[in-house]
Amino acid sequence: MIIAERKPFEEIKQMIAPYKRILVVGCGTCAAICWAGGEKEVGILASQLRLAFHKDKISIMEGIVQRQCEKEMVAELKDKVEEVEAILSLACGVGVQTLAEVFKEKPVFPGLNTTFIGMPEKEGLWVEMCEACGDCFLDRTGGICPIVRCAKGLLNGPCGGMRRGGKCEIDPEKDCAWSLIYRQLEKQGKLNLMRKYYPPKNFHTVKRPGRIQSEKA
């Protein structure tokens, strides 16, 4: 899932300061799950903004869609958008851009910072697992991605600074990714994969912006 966190309140205030009628829109999927942009977070931010701008008689409306990344769902906000001057999105960067694409005549501001693609490890804690590099080779590393889980992004085993007990030299609280990969491959009887050399990744092979057309569509 995409992980995001709310921008500093002062930054949000500055973005919307020129406007008197604002719609705060949340997302019911990723942003809600990581407690950054669900219905509750929309209500909290809207209340904070009303208090901060009470002397300016600012009008704050609230809305939420199940997925801000889908134009059809965002279009459901049409009536509310017509009543405001600007939109404040509590979704990932894709949600912000979807709102801007659907409602071209309205300025759309990001209320969150999109941080990474992660996995919920426990309640309230999300860990980055994938960089979406476009050239996945998890089949060769026991399902553990060294690009994001190794502090140096190494592709051919641990660095010379790995600490005792298989800990990372940069973060002693963190397991060395290649120590984890070794143990995983050992359990699977695939340690021979550790003997292969993998050249540096060429991230330029990933075309930006990405675009995939499904044959099933």
Look at residue 19 and tell me if it is in a domain: yes
Look at residue 126 and tell me if it is in a domain: no
Residue 133: per-residue pLDDT: 82
Those residues whose C-beta lies under 8 Å from the C-beta of residue 140, and which sit 6 or more positions away, are 193, 196, 198
Are residue 89 and residue 162 in the same domain, yes or no? no
Look at residue 56 and tell me if it is in a domain: yes
**Tokens standing for residue 78:** 């049409």
- Blockwise average pLDDT, block size 10, the chain, 217 residues: 94 95 96 95 97 92 96 96 96 95 94 91 88 85 91 91 89 92 93 90 68 65
- State pTM to two decimals: 0.83
Are residue 19 and residue 109 in the same domain, yes or no? yes
CA distance 45 to 109: 14
Are residue 11 and residue 106 in the same domain, yes or no? yes
Q: Please give the tally of structural domains in the chain.
A: 2
Residue 210: per-residue pLDDT: 65
Residue 199: per-residue pLDDT: 87
Residue 185: per-residue pLDDT: 93
Residue 214: per-residue pLDDT: 64
**Tokens standing for residue 189:** 């009887």
Residue 168: per-residue pLDDT: 93
SS (HEC) of the chain: CEEEEECCHHHHHHHHCCCCEEEEEEECCHHHHCCCCCHHHHHHHHHHHHHHCHHHCCEEEEEEECCCCCHHHHHHHHHHHHCCCEEEEECCHHHHHHHHHHCCCCCEEECEEEEEEEEEEECCEEEEEECCCCCCCHHHCCCCCHHHHCCCCCCCCCCCCCECCCECCCCCCCECHHHHHHHHHHHHCCHHHHHCCCCCCCHHHCCCCCCCCCCCC
Bridge partners of 119, per DSSP, are: 127
Residue 212: per-residue pLDDT: 60
Look at residue 207 and tell me if it is in a domain: no
Residue 7's domain spans which residues? 2-116
Are residue 55 and residue 81 in the same domain, yes or no? yes
CA distance 175 to 167: 4
